């Protein structure tokens, strides 16, 4: 069980590094349509669905970052002591990019296939304290 948790952690870590390397996409989507939308999704998964949920989440996060210029980052992670507690750091170029994301086939597939897996979902809108540092953080991940 412990080895499986480490595998899941490292797979999520690798995905998150790929997901946040988005400097070129940010440039393509910089349309001046408003401020970035930053959100934390706090998700609790039914324990018997955890492995299946993580596989679907990884597919959705990868597709979102790769295909959508307005998705700057989808950074999935879980609590070490309670892996059914999933957190996503989501950063979108603006509200329009987020609205567009919700209409994509990969997001709709994720939402439809994980409905019974999700025990609780809270979307927490955040405000960056130091927006100027964000491009530096993502550059360091290269």
pLDDT digits 0-9 by tens, 67-91:
999 999 999 999 999 999 999 999 9
CA angle 41, 6, 142 (to 5 degrees): 70
pTM, to two decimals:
0.75
Q: Domain 2-140: which topology?
A: Alpha-Beta Plaits (3.30.70)
Instruction: Provide the angle, in degrees to the nearest 10, between the axes of the packed helices 105-114 and 50-67.
Output: 170
Give me the pLDDT at residue 12, please.
Answer: 46
Mean per-residue pLDDT of the chain: 83
- Which pLDDT belongs to residue 2? 56
Instruction: Read off the pLDDT of residues 115-141 as tens digits, 9 standing for 90 and up.
Output: 999 999 999 999 988 888 888 887 877
* Mean pLDDT for the stretch of residues 25-49: 78
For residue 24, pLDDT over 70 is answered with: no
pLDDT the model gives residue 25: 43
User: What are the extents of the domains in the chain?
Assistant: 2-140
Binning pLDDT at 50, 70 and 90, where does residue 9 land? very low
Beta carbons within 8 Å of 140's beta carbon, 6+ residues apart: none
């Amino acid at each position: 069980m412990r080895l499986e948790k480490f595998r899941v952690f490292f797979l999520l870590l690798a995905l998150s590094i790929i997901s946040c390397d988005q400097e070129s996409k940010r440039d393509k989507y910089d349309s001046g349509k408003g401020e970035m939308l930053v959100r934390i999704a706090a998700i609790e998964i039914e324990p018997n669905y955890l492995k299946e949920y993580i596989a679907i989440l990884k597919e959705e996060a990868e597709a979102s970052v790769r295909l959508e210029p307005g998705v700057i980052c989808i950074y999935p992670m879980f609590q070490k002591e309670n892996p059914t507690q999933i957190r996503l750091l989501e950063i979108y170029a603006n509200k329009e990019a987020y609205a567009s994301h919700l209409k994509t086939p990969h997001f709709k597939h994720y939402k439809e296939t994980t409905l019974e897996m999700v025990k609780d979902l809270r979307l927490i809108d955040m405000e960056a304290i130091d927006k100027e540092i964000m491009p530096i953080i993502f550059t360091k991940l290269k």
